[in-house]
Amino acid sequence: MAHRTDRELVDAARGGEAEAFGAIVRRHQKRIFRLTSHLLRSAAEAEDVTQETFVRAYGALARFDGRSEPFTWIYRIAVNLSLNAIRARKTTRNSAPPDDPKVEGLLFESRGAGTTPADATQDRELALALIDGLGELSETLRTTLILVGVDGLSHAEAGKILGCPEGTVAWRVHEARRKLRAYLAGRGHEEDEA
């Protein structure tokens, strides 16, 4: 099967070609899973939400108007489902303890090749502190920062997913980072000038 774009696959799936939507799933499920993992901080919940995202997207194919990319459209569904799951489980803002199995399971080890064990430990503590700090942020700032800072989306892409202007995304990222910087400083992670 020749490489088809997301739009072509969506059009094919809307035409009744089930394999076309399967192709979309295989193409984007990893990114959706990583996104939902960072949002939910639980691999098991992230897997469920990922599956639910594609199922819901398939059920809403008829309402895909084509004004945005299918990837953006699916991302939006994944964010909505993740936020619904967070609200449903009534997550408190309290940060998870470092030995939280969800967090431990989420974060195996960093890929810092060539780093000393001490540096690896320090990076791991820093990443865990960031996860805790993200838990202290508001839903808006946390979600935006994960999309941009962790998932690597551009401001424009994040803006399309979240439904806000690019400038607003930038402001949210700045604001989230400002708060996280203060949070990390309070946890003993000082700014490294080197």
Partner 1 sequence: MSDEQGASKLVVRAEALLAQAELREPDYDALAKRIEGALATAGQSDDSLLLPPLPESVDDGRLSPAETAEPKLDAVAASATPAPEPASEREGASLADLARAALARRESKDRVSIAKESLAIATQQRTPAAPATAKALPTIETDDTRDRKRSTIPPARRSRAAFDTRGPWIGVGVAAIGLAAGFGLYLAGNRKTEIIQVPVAANTPNAAPPVTTQTTAESAPTAKTLTPDMLPRERGAPAPMLTPDALARESASSKAPASVADARPVAPGERPAGPAAVAGGATATTGAGAAKPERIVLEEEHAAGDAGPARPSKPPAATGLRPAELNANGGIADKPSTGAAQAAVGAVLGAARSCIAGQPQGSSATLVFGSSGEVTSVSVSGPAEGTPAAACIQSALKKARVQPFAASNFSLGVTIRPP
By beta-carbon proximity to partner 1, the closer residue of 8 and 126 is 126
The footprint of partner 1 on residues 118-147 (CB under 8 A) is 123-124, 126-127, 129-131, 138-140, 143-145
Q: For partner 1, which is the closer residue by CB, 2 or 88?
A: 88
Q: Rounded to the nearest whole angstrom, what is the least distance from the CB of residue 5 to partner 1 in the complex?
A: 19
Residues 152-181, one symbol each (x = binds partner 1 by CB under 8 A, - = not), give x--x-----xxxxxxxxxxxxxxx-xxxxx
- In the complex, least distance from residue 69 CB atom to partner 1, rounded to whole angstroms: 14
**54, 97 Cβ separation under 8 angstroms:** no
Residues 85 and 106: their CA atoms lie apart, in Å, by 17
> Contact, 166 vs 138, CB < 8 A?
no
CA distance 167 to 173: 10
- Cβ-based nearer residue to partner 1, 5 or 119: 119
Residue 47 burial (10 A CB sphere; 0-12, 13-18, 19+): middle
Query: Which residues does 126 contact at the CB level (< 8 Å), separation at least 6?
Result: 184, 189
Q: Does 9 bind partner 1 (CB under 8 A)?
A: no
Exactly one of 9, 79, 85, 96 binds partner 1 (CB under 8 A); that residue is 79
Residues within window 10-49 making contact with partner 1, judged by CB under 8 A: 18, 21-22, 25-26, 29-30, 33-34, 37-38, 43, 47
Token representation of residue 45: 């919940």
Answer yes or no whether residue 96 interacts with partner 1 by CB under 8 A: no
Residue at token pair 């920062």? 145
User: What is residue 117's three-state secondary structure?
Assistant: helix
Instruction: Answer yes or no whether residue 6 interacts with partner 1 by CB under 8 A.
Output: no
